[in-house]
Amino acid sequence: MTTAAVFIAGLAVVLVAVGWSFMGAVTSSNSVPVELKSTTQGLPTISSQDIGVLVHVVGGVNHPGIYQISPGSRVIDAVMAAGGIAPGASDCGINLARQVSDGEQIVISDDTACSAEKGQVHAGGALLSLNNATAEELDGLPGIGPTLAQRILEWREANGSFVDINQLNDVPGIGDKLFETLRELVSL
């Protein structure tokens, strides 16, 4: 045999040995466990009724975030889930007794000065709730007459509660200038 033939034969033996050991390592590291189990086995089934209502509580609360509360809960329940009103914050301008809607954002003012002290008041001394106001109360706002008051009620009936003050822009007849005036006088 020539030197080249011996070299090629030796190289072939080395390659076969390396390949054989590599195949053994791959086979042993990719072995499948004998018994596979679902990680969800034994967990309770959750129905859509069990999920509840998700609300996003932000601003002057101790633990802002997204909270799951029971259907039919009130704003106060969501605020308490978020750790309550933080020191230096104010619940002025928010109706704590109002029922919450799924997906709603609840904003608690970080400002201790009540909006009444800033001159942003409704005749009753507080911001007027878009979600709870009557046609007569809405009619008392500057620039809102009986027709616009009725349109606000119709929008609320068709779309559910206002979840953002900016939705007032969606009411036919409320332009940008009127909206800027009303924004300081209303709450959710």
Rounded Cα distance, 108 and 163, in Å: 13
Residues 27-46 as b or e (16 or more Cβ within 10 Å = b):
eeeeeeeeeeeeeeeeeeee
pLDDT in tens, the chain (188 residues): 677 666 676 666 666 665 656 555 444 444 444 454 444 455 455 454 567 889 888 888 899 999 999 998 888 899 999 998 888 887 776 778 888 888 888 888 766 555 443 334 444 446 788 888 888 888 888 888 888 889 999 988 888 888 888 888 888 888 888 888 888 888 87
Out of 113, 132, 148, a domain closes at 113
pLDDT recorded at residue 95:
77
Taking alpha carbons only, the member of 184, 59, 57, 60 closest to residue 126 is: 184
Rounded Cα distance, 10 and 15, in Å: 9
Are residues 120 and 109 located together in one domain of the fold? no
Are residues 151 and 178 located together in one domain of the fold? yes
Residue 2 in domain: no
Q: Tell me the residue length of the chain.
A: 188
Are residues 133 and 93 located together in one domain of the fold? no
pLDDT recorded at residue 177:
87
Number of folded domains in the chain? 2
Type of residue found at 86: A
Residues 65, 108, 91: CA angle, nearest 5 degrees: 140
Residue 32 in domain: no
Using CA atoms in the order 149, 152, 153, 157, what is the torsion angle rounded to 10 degrees?
170
Residue 8 in domain: no
pLDDT recorded at residue 82:
92
Out of 64, 88, 113, a domain closes at 113
What is this structure's pTM? 0.42
pLDDT recorded at residue 69:
92
Range(s) of the domain holding residue 184: 116-188
pLDDT recorded at residue 63:
93
pLDDT recorded at residue 59:
84
Are residues 62 and 103 located together in one domain of the fold? yes
Type of residue found at 146: P
